[in-house]
Structure 1
Amino acid sequence: MMMRRTVVVGAAGTGKTTLARELTGRTGGRLTDLDLLFWGPGWSRRPAEDFRADVRRLAADEYWVVAGSYLPQVADVLWPRAELVVWLDLPRRVSFSRVVRRTVRQLVGAEEVLPGCYQSLRAVWRDGLLGSAWRDPARFRDAVPEAMDHPSCRQLQLVRLRSAGQVRRWLRTQVADGRTTT
């Protein structure tokens, strides 16, 4: 099956953006990180209507790879148009440690995380980044199957990857020249 529209979901630190970049390079689709559509400068949240409108325009395209979850906000818009959902369900110890390392690196390096958004202790605390990174793996175990059960998602194929090794093997063995045998 040709991968034309793929959503990569998972908790923070699971490697959604990294995997989506790899898939985009192999399929020629357009990569969109939902964080770029959700957050404005200074970590301001864009209005929900604007976020959903941007996702609707994206979903209307023929070829894309989307990294990001935002299930309650946009799964009803994005998933009915998708063909494949890749769920990165890595162990909490892996994803949480990645979030901690990434956050420290961003703080120390004063990195621009998103356009106009710099990591700060205030942002980490205010947005509850570490708390959500700790809780989200368990939340996704309910949310993803629930979203997949929706009648508008019957066309979706789901690939659930539970370790970094599974991700590498899936890329190596299942994805070649933009095709997958999920």
Structure 2
Amino acid sequence: MERILVVGVTGVGKSTLAHILSSRLGLPYHEMDALYFNGPDWAINNKLTEDVSRLTAEPHWIIDSLGCPEVRDLLWDRADTVMWLDYSRRVIIPRVLRRSFRRTVTREVLFGGNRETWAGWLSREHPAWWAWSQHGARRREVERRVRDDRFAPLDTLRFRHPDDTAAWLASL
């Protein structure tokens, strides 16, 4: 485990697990949202592919993302381990709602200086809506990739409940 992708839908806990793994394994962690959004008004990094290519050329890293389409294959080709947080909507939705509520109320500064807003809750791109609507599609995409012969050399650890993830972390 030297080049790790932590995958799952929005709000599942990818960043939290990646932070824990980074500290326990001593591997550098790169947050995909921070790489993707690099300016105000949720501006998208126009050098994303270059940045991800440079980071994943390193021998050790952790990235918390299935990967946006521009870099998805690059990430999966260069990873040696996939940690799949495959939790149900029943687990994810309360988490993402609590996180977004906290971020909105506290005006927490996020990637590129952006913030979640009350108006943002009405958008189909809000994390809560996104987690709900993309759950099935993201799950199928990860399933397809872990079964794909192209990515067969990847070690895949699939956790279906937070208790499973916690038990594995305790054994690490």
User: Structure 2-normalised TM-score?
Assistant: 0.91
Q: Kindly indicate whether residue 108 of structure 2 is the aligned counterpart of residue 111 of structure 1.
A: yes
* Aligned residue number for residue 122 of structure 1: 119
Q: Which runs of 5+ in 1 are unaligned?
A: 176-182
Please state how far the C-alpha of 1:172 moved relative to its aligned partner: 1.4
Q: List, as ranges, runs of 4+ consecutive aligned residues in structure 1 with deviation greater than 6 Å.
A: none
Please state how far the C-alpha of 1:108 moved relative to its aligned partner: 0.8
Please state how far the C-alpha of 1:52 moved relative to its aligned partner: 1.3
Which residue among 13, 19, 22 is the counterpart of 1:21?
19
* Aligned residue number for residue 76 of structure 1: 73
Contact 2:8 2:66 in 1 (8 A): yes
Aligned mates of 2:163, 2:35 — CA distance in 1: 30
Q: Which digits, 9 at most, give the CA deviation of each residue in 1:95-151, with x for residues without a partner?
A: 111111111111111111224111112334342432211022211221012223444
Please state how far the C-alpha of 1:41 moved relative to its aligned partner: 2.0
Q: Kindly indicate whether residue 60 of structure 2 is the aligned counterpart of residue 63 of structure 1.
A: yes
* Aligned residue number for residue 143 of structure 1: 141
Please state how far the C-alpha of 1:64 moved relative to its aligned partner: 0.5
Which letter does structure 2 place at the counterpart of 1:14? V
Distance 1:122 1:53, change over 3 A: farther
Indicate the SS of the match to 1:40: strand
Q: Kindly indicate whether residue 97 of structure 2 is the aligned counterpart of residue 100 of structure 1.
A: yes
Q: Report how many residues are paired.
A: 170
Indicate the SS of the match to 2:48: helix
Which letter does structure 1 place at the counterpart of 2:109? E
Please state how far the C-alpha of 1:171 moved relative to its aligned partner: 0.9
Indicate the SS of the match to 2:69: helix
Aligned mates of 1:39, 1:139 — CA distance in 2: 22
Indicate the SS of the match to 1:112: coil
Aligned mates of 2:120, 2:50 — CA distance in 1: 26
Q: Which runs of 5+ in 2 are unaligned?
A: none
Indicate the SS of the match to 1:79: helix
Aligned mates of 1:71, 1:60 — CA distance in 2: 18
Which letter does structure 2 place at the counterpart of 1:76? D
Contact 2:67 2:75 in 1 (8 A): no
Aligned mates of 1:118, 1:88 — CA distance in 2: 25
Distance 1:34 1:61, change over 3 A: same
Contact 2:96 2:128 in 1 (8 A): yes
Aligned mates of 1:72, 1:150 — CA distance in 2: 17
Alignment RMSD (CA, Å): 1.6
